[in-house]
Structure formats: C-alpha cells, structure tokens
Amino acid sequence: MTDWLMQNGTRLLEKIFEHVYMFAIALIVGILIAVPLGIFISRYRKTSQAIISVTSVLQTFPSLAVLAIMVPILGIGKIPAIVALSLYSLLPILRNTYLGIVNMSPGIVDVAKGQGLSSAQVLRGVILPLAAPVIMSGIRVSGVYLIAWTTLAAYIGAGGLGDFIYTGLQNYDINYILGGTIPVSLMAILFDLLFGKIEKKVTPKTHR
C-alpha cells in the first residue's frame, strides 16, 4: 500500500480534486433546483405528491443506465456526469424542503402576514429559517450519497476517484480499489460531520 501511495500520490490528489469538483457542482446544482422547487410545490399540496413520486422513481433508475444514455445526448466527460449526479441529488433535498415547510405550524405564517410582511419577506424571514434544519438534513443525506455515486462518473470518462476503483476492479488490484475507496469514504464521513454541525447551527434556539 505504501508503495502504491508513493507511486500514485500525485495522481491521487488529482483524482480527489476532480472528485470533489464534480461532487460540489452537482450538489450545488441539485440544491439550486430542489430547494426552490420544494418551496414552490409546498404551495400546491395536491400536485406536490405527484412531483415527489416522480423524483423518487427517478432515483430508482440504475445509475449505470442513466450514464450510458447520457453519452449520445450529452457526450462523455464531466458535464454529463454532473448532470446525472445532480438528478440523483434532487430527491432527498426536495422531499425535506417540502416537509420542512409543510410541517410548520400554519399559525406562524398567518401571524407574520398579519404583521404586514410581504410573501417574499415571510419566505425569507420566517419560512426558510424555520425550515432550514430539515432542508439541511436533506442536503446532508444527499451529499453523503453523492460522494459515493460520483465514483460512477469514471464509467463515462469523467475521472475522479472512480478511475482508481474501476482500474482496481478490472485489474484485480486491491491497492487501487482501496486507494479509491478510502478517500471517498473519508470525504463522505467528513461531509456528514461538517453538515451535522451546520444543521445544529441553523436550528433556531427555541427548537433545541
């Protein structure tokens, strides 16, 4: 293992960088789509169930197939990989955003409106801060999964730590497999810890 590290150290760093890069963009794109969508559908409770069902079915599509289908449409490399990954990140964030808003006691919003706040102000000042912990936990779950899923990007030439894992699998070399897996797991655990802290930070004092 140490020999392997000596030989592949710089490449390992490169792959870690690629991995983080794809993961971070995919997650940010996922958040930018899922949070507004979650806020939006929380106003239309009937259609919301349908939209959440659609995204959960999306989630069950095997990643292998989704990536293969992306090739003729979006080509190979990082972009189709990021698109596929952000699709996968949607569900937990969307569901939690929706639940966070819907489960808030309706009285709070009424009180805020009664005090003359506009809907935008209510959203920014009341709804989002109160739903933040639930949304954050959605992002946390999504992120942990996404770090692992980013390995599949190697399948369509996008690089990342998946390259090492594939090479290890194909060439039956445990050094490569572990060299890819251990950093991925460590990253996921770190992300989980970090976001656990953030989740606590954004929880309003009264909720603690």
Partner 1 sequence: MTVLFQYFSENWRYILIQSRTHFLISLYGVLLACLVAIPLGILLAYKKKSNSLSMMIANILQTIPSIAMLSVLMIFFGLGSNTVIIANFLYSLLPILKNTYAGITNVDPKLLDVAEGLGMTRIQRLFKVVLPLSISIIIGGIKNAIVVAVGITTVGTFVGSGGLGDIITRGINMVDAGEVVWAGAIGAAFMAVLLDILLGFVEKKLTPKQKRVSSF
Partner 2 sequence: MKKNKKKLIYMVLIFCLNIILLTSCSCAFPGLGGSAQDNDIVIAGGNTTERQIVSEIVKQMIQHYLPESKVHIINNLGSTPIIYNSLINGDTNVAGVMYTGTSLTGELGMDPLGSAEETMEAVVKGYYERFDIVWFPSYGFENTYSFMLTKETKEKYNLNNTSDLEQYADVLRVGVDSAWLDRPGKDGYQGFLDVYGFGFDNLFSMDIGLVYEAIASDRLDIALGYSTDGRISSYDLVMLEDDRDLFPPYETSPVVTMDLLKQKPELEWILLKLQGQISLETMQDLNNAADELKTEPYKVAKNFLAENNFFEEVARSSLKEIPLYKDFDLDFEQD
Closest CA to 22 of 124, 163, 121: 163
- Residue among 155, 161, 184, 195 that touches partner 2 (CB under 8 A): 155
Q: Quote the CA–CA distance of 15 and 78 in Å, as a whole number.
A: 13
Tokens at 35, concatenated: 């949070």
193 binds, among partner 1, partner 2, none (CB under 5 to 8 A by kind): none
Among 171, 185, 200, 201, binds partner 2 (CB under 8 A): 171
Site residues for partner 2, 92-121, by CB under 8 A, read none
Other C-beta atoms within 10 Å of 12: how many? 17
Shortest CB 17 distance to partner 2, Å: 16
**Taking the complex as a whole, how short is the minimal distance between the CB of residue 70 and partner 1, in angstroms?**
10
* DSSP H or E segment with residue 208: none
Which of 133, 128, 93 lies closest to 108, judged by CA? 128
Residues 42-71 that bind partner 2 (CB under 8 A): 68, 71
Residues at the site binding partner 2, with contacts judged by CB under 8 A: 68, 71-72, 75-77, 154-157, 159, 163, 166-167, 169-173, 176
